[in-house]
Each structure stands twice: as structure tokens, then as C-alpha cells.
């Protein structure tokens, strides 16, 4: 009997996702664990594997089309088996009774998302020609209809879009490129906007002398089987500071404050079209080399779209390092539920005055702590930053 494959809930709380790319073709035999598709969520591209064996009978969703969680996306069965031999009507995309004379007594194939958008935009689906698999109406069909309606507007109508266009008419069209927003870029825009608007940020800065740290890193890498980065030392020092000031290892819970017993720290990873923040669990319990291997693995799998759902969730703190780009200092936006994020700049040689008033030169790394004032008061955040600075400037403490 044919098995209907439905859009999985690859990320908690997500109501829809998109097939970025199919990794199988119609007629291909698959077994349990065979990668079927790359599913694009708001945070990452996740590889989805088959949970049944058989032959791919139909692929029901075009790459790029948004689909509600639980919607049919493919059918797997025995060679020659038809879709109707499976789960009956459920083996095909969700269907809604057709209205109007356009399709007679036939069925109108459209997902719940498309039907909802059509209702919101006042579009009669019965008048549309579906371009999806099997004539299914997909989101691009709605967009094409909306674009056609806009172009058919009566001369003289004034819209906000027209006003905006006239305001920018001075810019030659060949000098402006419109880059379509990806789902990830939309998600990043929404999350940082929400964070800036709802999380009361405040910022503390410290200049850390890192000559001893740079020398220790050089010596460690002479013997380490895995290259240890400066950021690995920073992440480990953050975990040490959370142990020194355990009250800072907390997150906001609306009615309570959650105190965490483990140092689970998110590490910002830049990818081609956005930013991921995979969480390293139990940094306080990891050795430096193990931490370096773990962060390198998360970063590599993040860039290739192979992170798991649980690796992108949770944590109480985060680190964002732009030092490798030559940035000397910056302030980062907190990614809830984290209560803080440490922005790390590049280490650079600078003149310094020692305790006796003498002038010298030292390697200085500027860090900026962004703190959630609902969880961390100024004095508590200052204590944490001082603990971090002590560990960075006395790097042997990071290894203990």
C-alpha cells in the first residue's frame, strides 16, 4: 500500500516550510533513511530522510513552494502502484470543492496556506490555472494574479507603491538591483526587529589584554590534533564566567526566570544568505580540543544545511565574533531566549599604560556584552564581564 509522505515539523513551532530541493526522482527506489529532500525552515535548510521504503510514485510539491506542516509532499509505494491505491484522496494535495463555472464539478487542488491567502486577498481560486504538480494552485499563481490585477488598475489610481516608485524615479533602473528575499532573510529580519522592540538591551564594554592568550593558543596548536581558534578560547571563557557568576546563566520566562545548570552557548555562524546560531551543549564540561572539534563540525554542517532541529534551539548565552573580518568592536542583537550575547572584535596592537605609569604596547581585544535587562541587572552583568575578562587575561584558568 502506498505511503503518503507529509511535510515534517522539522522545527518546533513552525507552521509551514518549503522544499528547497528534491534529492530523489519519480521512479527511484528508496529505503528508510534515504535523503528525500532539503526542507527550508526559517533558521536552516534541513535534510529530510525517508521513513518508509519503496518506489517514489509522485512528488507533489514544486521546489520553493511553501507547504503547511502535515501537508502531503510525496507518495512512496510499490512499482506500478497508483496514488489512489494508497490513502485515497489524502494521497493527493488537500482539495477544496470548486466553486463557479470555471471547473464544473471537478476538484480544486490548493493547500490550506494558498486558500487562506486567497481569502485574505479576495482572490477566487476557481478562476486560477494551477501551475503546480497535477494542476495544483501554488503561491506563485496567487502572486501572478495579484500582479496582473495591479497592472490592470485604472489610470490615475494612486497607491502607496506608486508613490514610492515616483519618489525613487530619479534612480536609473539599471543602477538598482532587486534581490528577492529568502525565507531565512525574512526570518532574520523579523527576529531582530522583534528582539530590538521587545528585549530591553543594555551594553557593557571591556578591553582585554590577550598577549598571554595568543601565546597559549600558539602553544596549544603545536600539539593539538584539531586547530583551536581564538573564538574557542572565548567560548570556553564565557562558560567559565557563567560558572563564576551562576546567576547570569539564566533566561526570561515571562512568569519566571529560568536558571540553567549547564553552559549551553550559541555560536554565530555566517552562511551565504544569513546567519545561524547552533548551540554547543555543556561547554563547561568540554575540553578545549573537544570544544574546537564540536564548533567546527556545527559550523561546517550549518553551511551545508545539515544541522538538526535540536542543535538550533535553547541555550542561555551567545557569542558573535567578527574579529576575523578586522572589525575592532561592535554591538550584537540578542537572539531570544538568550539573556546575553558577547560581541568580539579583532585583537590588535595598541599603546597601553601599565600600573606603574610606564608606556608599552599590548594586544587588545575589545568585547561588548549585550544584556537583557529583564534578566541581568547592570551590576550582575558587570560582574559577569569582569569574570570573563579575568579568565581571558589569565588564560591558564580556561584550561582548568
Residue 178 domain flag? no
Angle between the N-to-C axes of helices 112-121 and 139-151, in degrees from 0 to 180, rounded to the nearest 10: 20
Q: Report the C-alpha gap between 231 and 323 in whole angstroms.
A: 9
Residues 125 and 251 grouped into a single domain: no
Contact 37, 8 (CB under 8 A): no
The pLDDT tens digits for 74-90 are 999 987 776 554 344 34
Residues 277 and 385 grouped into a single domain: yes
Q: Which range of residues forms the domain containing residue 64? A: 3-143
Residues 238 and 297 grouped into a single domain: yes
Residues 392 and 245 grouped into a single domain: yes
Last-in-domain residue among 82, 112, 143: 143
Centroid of chain to Cα 233: 24
Q: Report the C-alpha gap between 344 and 1 in whole angstroms.
A: 56
Residue 386 domain flag? yes
Residue 160 domain flag? no
Residue 44 domain flag? yes
Q: Report the C-alpha gap between 183 and 16 in whole angstroms.
A: 11
Residues 99 and 208 grouped into a single domain: no
Contact 96, 108 (CB under 8 A): yes
Burial of 178 (0-12, 13-18, 19+ CB in 10 A): exposed
Residues 82 and 190 grouped into a single domain: no
Q: Report the C-alpha gap between 151 and 103 in whole angstroms.
A: 26
Residues 196 and 139 grouped into a single domain: no
Task: Identify the pLDDT of residue 47.
Answer: 80
Residue 355 domain flag? yes
For this structure, is 260 an active site residue?
no
Degrees, nearest 5: CA angle 331-313-258:
80
Residues 200 and 104 grouped into a single domain: no
Task: Identify the pLDDT of residue 377.
Answer: 96
Residues 276 and 373 grouped into a single domain: yes
Tally of domains in the chain = 2
Residue 212 domain flag? yes
Residues 209 and 351 grouped into a single domain: yes
Q: Report the C-alpha gap between 169 and 159 in whole angstroms.
A: 15
Last-in-domain residue among 143, 165, 199: 143
Contact 22, 59 (CB under 8 A): yes
Residues 137 and 206 grouped into a single domain: no
Q: Report the C-alpha gap between 286 and 269 in whole angstroms.
A: 20
Residues 213 and 313 grouped into a single domain: yes
Q: Report the C-alpha gap between 252 and 326 in whole angstroms.
A: 33
The pLDDT tens digits for 104-151 are 334 456 655 667 677 777 888 878 877 765 576 777 787 777 776 655
Residues 263, 392, 363, 227, Cα dihedral to 10°: -60
Residue 263 domain flag? yes
> Domain holding 72: CATH number?
2.40.50.100
> Domain holding 391: CATH number?
3.30.559.10
Residue 38 domain flag? yes
Last-in-domain residue among 143, 172, 204: 143
Task: Identify the pLDDT of residue 323.
Answer: 95
Q: Report the C-alpha gap between 45 and 309 in whole angstroms.
A: 10
Q: Choose the catalytic residue: 201, 258, 260, 373.
A: 373
* Tens digit of pLDDT at every position of the chain (400 positions): 788 999 887 665 567 788 888 999 999 999 988 989 888 776 667 788 888 899 999 999 888 777 888 899 999 998 777 655 434 434 344 433 333 336 333 445 665 566 767 777 788 887 887 776 557 677 778 777 777 665 554 444 444 444 444 444 455 667 888 888 777 788 788 888 989 999 999 999 999 999 999 999 999 999 999 999 999 999 999 999 999 999 999 999 989 999 999 999 999 999 877 889 999 999 999 999 999 999 999 999 988 878 887 888 899 999 999 999 999 999 999 999 999 999 999 999 999 988 788 899 999 999 999 999 999 999 999 999 999 999 999 999 999 8
105 is written with which cell numbers? 464539478
pTM of structure: 0.65
Reduced to 3 states, what is the DSSP secondary structure of residue 68? strand
DSSP 17: E
Amino acid at each position: 500500500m502506498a505511503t503518503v509522505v507529509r511535510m515534517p515539523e522539522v522545527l518546533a513551532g513552525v507552521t509551514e516550510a518549503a522544499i528547497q530541493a528534491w534529492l530523489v526522482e519519480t521512479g527511484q527506489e528508496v529505503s528508510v533513511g534515504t535523503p528525500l529532500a532539503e526542507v527550508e525552515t526559517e533558521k536552516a535548510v534541513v535534510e529530510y530522510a525517508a521513513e518508509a521504503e519503496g518506489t517514489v510514485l509522485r512528488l507533489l510539491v514544486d521546489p520553493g513552494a511553501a507547504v503547511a506542516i502535515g501537508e502531503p509532499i510525496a507518495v512512496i509505494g510499490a512499482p506500478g502502484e497508483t496514488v489512489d491505491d494508497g490513502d485515497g484522496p489524502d494521497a493527493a494535495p488537500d482539495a477544496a470543492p470548486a466553486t463557479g463555472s470555471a471547473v464544473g464539478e471537478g476538484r480544486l487542488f490548493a493547500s490550506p496556506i494558498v486558500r487562506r491567502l486567497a481569502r485574505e486577498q479576495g482572490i477566487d481560486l476557481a478562476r486560477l490555472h494551477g501551475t503546480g504538480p497535477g494542476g495544483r494552485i501554488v503561491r506563485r499563481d496567487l502572486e501572478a494574479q495579484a500582479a496582473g490585477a495591479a497592472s490592470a488598475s485604472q489610470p490615475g489610481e494612486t497607491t502607496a507603491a506608486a508613490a514610492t516608485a515616483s519618489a525613487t524615479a530619479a534612480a536609473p533602473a539599471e543602477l538598482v538591483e532587486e534581490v528577492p528575499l529568502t525565507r531565512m532573510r525574512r526570518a532574520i529580519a523579523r527576529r531582530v526587529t522583534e528582539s530590538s522592540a521587545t528585549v530591553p538591551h543594555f551594553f557593557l564594554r571591556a578591553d582585554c589584554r590577550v598577549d598571554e592568550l595568543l601565546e597559549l593558543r600558539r602553544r596549544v596548536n603545536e600539539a593539538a590534533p584539531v586547530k583551536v581558534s581564538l573564538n574557542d578560547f572565548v567560548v570556553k571563557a564565557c562558560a567559565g564566567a557563567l560558572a563564576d557568576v551562576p546567576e547570569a546563566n539564566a533566561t526570561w520566562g515571562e512568569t519566571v526566570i529560568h536558571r540553567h545548570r549547564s553552559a549551553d552557548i550559541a555560536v554565530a555562524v555566517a552562511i551565504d544568505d544569513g546567519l545561524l546560531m547552533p548551540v554547543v551543549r555543556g561547554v563547561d564540561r568540554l575540553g578545549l580540543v573537544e570544544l574546537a572539534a564540536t564548533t567546527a563540525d556545527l559550523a561546517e554542517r550549518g553551511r551545508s544545511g545539515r544541522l538538526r532541529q535540536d542543535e538550533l534551539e535553547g541555550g542561555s548565552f551567545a557569542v558573535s565574533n567578527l574579529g576575523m573580518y578586522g572589525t575592532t568592536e561592535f554591538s550584537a542583537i540578542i537572539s531570544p531566549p538568550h539573556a546575553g550575547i558577547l560581541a568580539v572584535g579583532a585583537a590588535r596592537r595598541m599603546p597601553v599604560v601599565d600600573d606603574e605609569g610606564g608606556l608599552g604596547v599590548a594586544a587588545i581585544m575589545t568585547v561588548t556584552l549585550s544584556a537583557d535587562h529583564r534578566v541581568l541587572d547592570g551590576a550582575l552583568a558587570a560582574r559577569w564581564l569582569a569574570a570573563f575578562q579575568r579568565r581571558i587575561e589569565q588564560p591558564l584558568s580556561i584550561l582548568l
